[in-house]
A and B are shown apart, each in its own frame.
Chain A
Amino acid sequence: MNTDTNPNLAAGAALWLDEAAIGILRQDLLRFARMQLRDPAAAEDVVQEALSAAYATREHFNGQAQVKTWVFSILRNKILDQIRFGVRHPTQSLTREDGSDEDVESQFDEHGYWHKERRPSRWGDPEETLANEQFWRILEICLHAMPENIARVFTMREMLDLETNEICEQLAISESNCWVILHRARSRLRLCLENNWVRSEQTSC
């Protein structure tokens, strides 16, 4: 195999990472890709491509700390390319009402106030949550439980860091529609985390 394009064989390169660091970085990249692409094989492919592309340009790094940022920016662009391709070949309409917001709607009474028993609860310490592997697994499941058309807008905003005017341009929707979709996505994700992470934590203590 050609070592110039194989980052896994690059342990000796001074500005590249050792094998253990590559392993950790690869897991972070895979999680990031899986949350957006939903297809584990496609996520593996895009991560391998990003690592290879970063390795091929490794002489541009000033140090190892930059490697992660660099690889992530390559990965972001590759995922964005795939999303753009998907938008031109849509499988789901972005504005179709899928009736799946009932759970979110039923949190409110007829006047738009929280039902007492469905009021948002106190979530635990943020840093403790972020350090918990189970939380990240549940987050991934919750993202995948979202309809793909809503999740796409959400991940473009929160994971690819696009502004809403860029998203609506890419997807040919109005900016106000984009805000509505993002609110639906956040509400659903919040509810899913509350039901599956927060409440399960509370009952297990």
Chain B
Amino acid sequence: MLSCKQASQMMSQKLDRPLSTRERTALWLHLSMCSGCRKYNEQMKFMRKVFMRLKE
């Protein structure tokens, strides 16, 4: 079981490299049980959008 700290690292790396099947499963499992990390995940996606918008 991932800790939130490990999950946050994985959510960041997801933006830089493809996660392995094992990593994706572990992250999915963690997110299904952790509302804090689900919000963190949304915020990571939002930040990517912010920098896309800057260049549009």
- Please list the residues of chain A having a beta carbon within 8 angstroms of any beta carbon in chain B: 28, 31-32, 35, 72, 108, 111-114, 119-123, 126, 129-130, 139, 157-159, 164, 178-179, 182-183, 186-187, 189-190, 193-194
Per the 8 Å Cβ criterion, residues 33-56 of B in contact with A are 35-37, 39-40, 42-44, 46-51, 53-55
Q: Are A112 and B5 in contact (CB under 8 A)?
A: yes
Q: Tell me if A's interface is mostly helix, strand, loop or mixed.
A: helix
Q: Are B3 and A108 in contact (CB under 8 A)?
A: yes
Q: A72 is contacted by which of B4, B35, B47, B55 (Cβ under 8 Å)?
A: B55
B1 to chain A, nearest CB (A): 10
Q: B13 is contacted by which of A121, A130, A158, A179 (Cβ under 8 Å)?
A: A179
Assuming A31-B54, A139-B50, A190-B47, is B12 touching A112 (CB within 8 A)? no
Q: Which residue of the partner chain B has the closest CB to A185?
A: B12
Assuming A31-B54, A32-B55, A113-B4, is B42 touching A182 (CB within 8 A)? no
Residues of B in contact with A, size category: 20 to 34
CA distance A162 to B6 in the complex (A): 25
Assuming A113-B3, A119-B36, is B8 touching A183 (CB within 8 A)? yes
- Please list the residues of chain B having a beta carbon within 8 angstroms of any beta carbon in chain A: 3-6, 8-9, 12-13, 15-17, 35-37, 39-40, 42-44, 46-51, 53-55
- In the bound complex, residues from chain B placing their C-beta under 8 Å from that of A183 are 8-9, 12-13
Q: Are A158 and B49 in contact (CB under 8 A)?
A: no
Q: A112 is contacted by which of B4, B36, B40, B46 (Cβ under 8 Å)?
A: B4
